[in-house]
Structure 1
Amino acid sequence: MYSIGLDIGTTSTKAVLFSKDNKQVDDYEVTYPLIKEKPDFAEQDPEVIVAACLKTIRELVKQASINKEDIRLIGISSAMHSLMVVDKNNVPLTPLITWADNRCAAFIKELKSSSKGKHFYEKTGTPIHPMSWIGKIQWLRTERPQIFKQAFKFLSIKEYLCKCLFGIYVVDQSLASGTGLYHLKDRKWDEEILKFIEIDNNQLSEIVPTTYELPSLTSQRQLDLSLTDKCRFIIGASDGVLANVGANAIKPGTIAVTIGTSGAVRTIADKPITDEHMRTFCYVLTDDSWVAGGATNNGGLALQWYLNEFAKELKNIDGGKSATEQIIQEAMTIPAGSQGLLFLPFLNGERAPYWNPDARGSFLGVSMIHKRAHFARAVMEGVIYSVYSIVKGLQESIGELEIIQASGGFARSDEWVQMLADITGKEIHLPETYHASALGAVLLAKHAIGENYLFSASKQIINKVFIPNEDNHARYEEMHNLYERVYQKLENEFAVFVEMQNK
């Protein structure tokens, strides 16, 4: 018997096939664009994403050459903070507004600096940032009043998929807790916040546990997906919390670092945890477990941007190295610290630990000695400096964290994972599959149907262990301290750049 983890990400959807003993068998991926019509906008076409979900499952079954009757379980993972508006017929009135969208930054800046902003954070565990639905809905109310008046439901992409496939409006507690509208302790939509943004409960989906079993597919949908009526669907959770489960980062002192398009640092907690300085988030995993941590807007996206804009001549070699592998190999010819070249990776503003949508990317310390390889390495280091800042902030909130379980697309590069070990000074464990969110979705689904206990079944075989190089770590400590000092000095200037970019 087989299970599938459906992982709906920011730039692609992946369907990953797992055997009965949770070993990865095969995977299929469909990519789609992030639409940026204006500097602060970051949108997607929800219909394209739903089509990608259908295709990944259908093509995975075909590619793996297995009997469709042997697929008995599908768990769903989804990126957080997306928002779209639909009418009474479930027709989209807006594109999907993603976590990377900053259009409500001015409103959020004002709210964050107020006592009300901190009060909302303490209740919800969601930092006051443009990713939150509070800002997105407020922007729609003031800038798109006609759409706001027509809004039948405000949905995430997973909710929209559930309505399309199963005919119901439901949202799992995990995704609900990332909206900024969900009361962590009362476990329901927060009436005070809904009143603040002038919407009501009826415009939101029904909140269900992350173990909720969705209705059976129609016969036509079974054909569309190459499945049978024997396959059960579990709603699952957000990709972030599921990455911890899939990476086996479920013990005290262990954290999961996931770097895909964006990046995140997370650890499991047995109670809701918030931070005095509002640097970290806290989201629901199950009825008695939460995930605390922080996310960066700029992960592998930063290296892809550099590759696209400054190394266009590098092409994927048939049967050989990809363009990404080539630029990483080139970067590794440069010593740790990039000979004093520093990159602030804030191409999309920044979430943790600064939560500053106005932050912008910068190269500093540029001199005539720096070549393309220096810049490539500085970009890779800058992404990990951002992760390290989150690790430090999380440790201040909950105590020392010793071991990192790594996952996400960056984990395909041993060089980048070793850089994570060297910068953080911590031992890095690399699980057998880097599809941690998809595996987490399957393990949660099996927990939901009583096939296993979640916190004992996620033990993965560790594929590799990376030990920090102490000399490199010492150098990186100097560079990271410089990174944080430079950010503080530039913090009040970033808004000027944003203003100039928006003219």
Structure 2
Amino acid sequence: MSAVPEKTCLMGIDIGAGSLKTMIIDSSGRVRGSAAVDIVTHSPHPLWSEQDPEDWWKAVCTTVPMALKEAGLTAGQIAAISFSAGAHTPVLEDGQGRLVRPAILWNDQRSGAESRELQEKYGDRILAIGLNRPAPTWTLPQFLWLARHEPDAVRRTARVYVAKDWLRSRLTGTWETDRTEAVGTLLFDAANDRWSPELCDMAHWDIATLPPLVTPTTIVGQVTAAAARAAGLAEGTPVVCGTSDTSIETFGAGSVRPGDGTVKLATAGTISVVSREPRVHPTLINYPLAVPGLWYTITGTNSCASAHRWFRDRFMMGAGTSGSAAFAEIDRLAATVRPGAEGLLFHPYLQGERAPYWDPMLRADFVGMTFRHDKAHFSRAIYEGIAFSLRDVLDQFRAQEMDIRTARIIGGGSKSATWRQIVADVLNVEILLPETTDASFGAALLAGVGIGVFSDELSAAAACAKVIDRSTPDPDNVAFYDRLFGVYKEAQAGLANVNHALSRITG
């Protein structure tokens, strides 16, 4: 490995839904080292999804030394550090800096009743002020649920963090967030650039507990002596704010100009389009992009790689089989089956659904099974069903005249050439594969912008976001999938009431 001058490498740390990853890159965007460890998600009750933030900090203390070792670097060669994580994940601390309760994740569905109530009472106002509609994924309904079911936790809360900000505070001891995360709480007045008293009142939440605002590239502090000892970092290393994972991934993949599209095949599946202003609509979600002056409009399906992993864990893991080998076998099997999986359809609603239905009571299903179908057909149907769900999402953009003809693809699912081609054919969009797609990569780039390694965000993306493969839609497959998608939609509509009845019967 070639020598690296002092303090020219950048570190990005990302909290994913199932793991935490630390990545180190140099100023050309080359990945020098990385490490990841799993994070346990707890579901103590149906529809709940929580994590212990202390597990995130333990993961940082584990992965930082591993990444430095792989890179062949010392902690003193890291010029700056930044962070990302999923939006909508609040961390509550009391006045002594102690955690009040576990963090409620973005895919938690407990606040379905609160979301419906907020929509019925205040839907138009919430959309006008917060740019988005209430759903269980947002912090506003989560806080209303807490006010009703855990009032002691609300009374004890002195500071609210969003996930990446709490983790970053373990390094610096500071308290702040960026505007993308603020919009993600659904407690922020974007037009007036401030926390909204009106939205906070809807959740019975004290606005004084919400953090100060900075830009994603602001240097918010330095690694403290205690944090350096615990995590294997160098005391005094600059720490840059960072932003939420979808914003940072869009930027890191190179989608940095109006009209650029991004498809994400991760725990959730999403499609986003970059624009100069928010495109406010009940079925779409708006955030500021990591690039100043730009927004991205995004919406998605709840279960993507999580459905893929569910299928692997339940049906593909035999004695002595590793997780990676099982994923590889699913991919191999899916490639052996013709488009359409011989009439087997999959709706991936394993944890309710976001766009376009916003319905936590929907359930997953396989439709059209026969004796002919085997593991290969189910593997293909998983890939196609998730792609159809993304088509359902993309149609919301097209209804608002926001079409895309090319999109960069990110997330763990982007590693599969078969899945990339299916997505290209189902969406009828050319799919571009960046060389590096991790949120931790985008976080490292923002760290570089923050300390001046790159002159600005566009320069960082131009220098480091490289496309290594393309999947072009096949016209015959596009036409076939267009017909099959109609059947997929018809089956979804026909089963919606059945899903609701099953959810009511089983509680």
- The aligned runs of 1:90-169 (5 Å cut-off) are 90-112=97-119, 114=120, 116-169=122-175
Letter in 1 for 2:187: L
Q: Which residue of 2 aligns with 1:447?
A: 449
- Which shows bigger deviation, 493-502 or 37-46? 493-502
Deviation at 1:315, TM superposition (A): 5.0
Evaluate the alpha carbon distance shift between residue 239 and residue 314 of structure 1 in structure 2; reply closer, same or farther with a 3 A threshold: farther
Instruction: Find 1:217's aligned residue among 204, 220, 223.
Output: 223
The alignment status of 1:285 with 2:285, answered yes or no, reads: no
Aligned to 1:3: 10
Letter in 1 for 2:191: K
Secondary structure in structure 1 of the residue aligned to 2:222: coil
The 3-state SS of whatever aligns with 1:27 is strand
How far is 1:83 from its partner?
2.1
**Cα 1:448/1:64, change in 2 over 3 Å:** closer
Q: Is the 8 A contact 1:126 1:132 kept in 2?
A: no
The answer as to whether partners of 1:293 and 1:390 remain within 8 angstroms in 2 is: no
Give ranges in structure 2 of 5+ residues lacking alignment: 1-7
Contact 2:118 2:141 in 1 (8 A): no
Query: Residue 356 of structure 1 aligns to which amino acid in structure 2?
Result: D
Aligned equivalent of 1:361, options 352, 360, 364: 364
Equivalenced residue count is: 496
Instruction: Rate the CA distance shift 1:24–1:362 in 2: closer, same or farther, 3 A.
Output: same
| Structure 1: distance between partners of 2:76 and 2:114 | 51
Distance 1:349 1:430, change over 3 A: same
Would the aligned equivalents of 1:126 and 1:179 in 2 still touch at CA under 8 Å?
no
Q: Give 1:314 shift.
A: 7.0
Q: Which residue of 1 aligns with 2:417?
A: 414
Q: Deviations over 1:280-331 (max 9, x none)?
A: 100122542211111221111101101111222275469xx61101122112
Normalised TM-score (structure 1):
0.94
Say yes or no: does 1:376 pair with 2:359. Answer: no
Q: What corresponds to 1:183 in structure 2?
A: 189
Q: 1:193 to 1:326 in 2, by over 3 A?
A: same
For 1:129 and 1:120, the matched residues in 2 are separated by 11
Partner Cα distance (1:90, 1:135) in 2 = 24
Residues 1:462 and 2:464 are matched in the alignment: no
Deviation at residue 432 of structure 1 after TM alignment: 0.9
Is 1:22 the counterpart of 2:16? The answer is no
CA contact (8 A) 1:212 1:448 kept: yes
Deviation of 1:336 (Å): 0.7
Match of 2:490 in 1: 485
Q: Which runs of 5+ in 1 are unaligned?
A: none
CA deviation vs aligned residue, 1:128-186 (integer Å, no higher than 9, x gap) = 11011111111111111222222223332223223332222211111111111111221
Measure how far apart 1:86 and its partner are: 2.1
* Aligned equivalents of 2:205, 2:298: Cα separation in 1: 29
Is the partner of 1:214 in helix, strand or coil?
strand
CA–CA distance in structure 1, aligned partners of residues 492 and 435 of structure 2? 36
Partner SS for 2:470: strand
User: 2:503 aligned with 1:498, yes or no?
Assistant: yes
The answer to whether 1:37 aligns with 2:44 is yes
Equivalent residue of 1:355, what SS? coil
What is the SS of the residue equivalent to 1:308? helix
Q: How far apart are the structure 2 equivalents of 1:78 and 1:86?
A: 18
- The percentage of aligned residue pairs carrying the same residue is 27
Deviation at 1:230, TM superposition (A): 5.4
Q: For the residues of structure 2 that align with 1:395 and 1:53, how far apart are their CA atoms? A: 41
The correspondence of residues 312-461 of structure 1 with structure 2, limited to 5 A, is 312-313=317-318, 315-316=320-321, 322-435=325-438, 437-450=439-452, 451-459=454-462, 460-461=465-466
1:343-374 alpha-carbon deviations (Å, 9 max, x no partner):
11010111122221111111111222211221
Q: 1:431 Cα shift?
A: 0.9
- d(CA) in 2 for partners of 1:55, 1:121: 41
Mapped pair 1:242 → 2:258: no
2:307 is equivalent to residue 305 of structure 1: no
- TM-score normalised per structure 2: 0.93
Query: Secondary structure of the residue that 2:21 maps to in structure 1?
Result: strand
Say whether the 8 Å CA contact 1:69–1:230 is kept in structure 2. Answer: no
Determine the structure 1 residue equivalent to 2:238.
232
